[in-house]
Amino acid sequence: MNKRLVAVAASAFLFGSEAASEIEKFNPREATMDAPHNHVEMAEGCFIDVTSGFSLSGGPSDKTLYYLQLASVYATDADGKQELAGFRAFATPDSGSQQMYAQFDTLQNVISVLGSELGLRKPQLAATRRSLLAGSRTEIGGHGVRRFFSEETMRSLGLTFRPLEA
pLDDT tens by residue, 39-48: 455 555 555 5
157, 102 in Cβ contact below 8 A?
yes
pLDDT value at residue 151 = 93
Would you give the DSSP letter of residue 161?
A: S
Would you give the DSSP letter of residue 165?
A: P
Give the number of residues written for the chain: 166
Q: Model confidence over 62-106: pLDDT tens digits?
A: 688 999 999 999 999 889 898 889 999 999 998 877 899 999 999
Using DSSP, state whether 132 is helix, strand or coil: helix
70, 140 in Cβ contact below 8 A?
yes
69, 92 in Cβ contact below 8 A?
yes
More confident position, 143 or 104: 104
Lowest model confidence (mean pLDDT) among 21-30, 45-54, 88-97, 136-145: 45-54
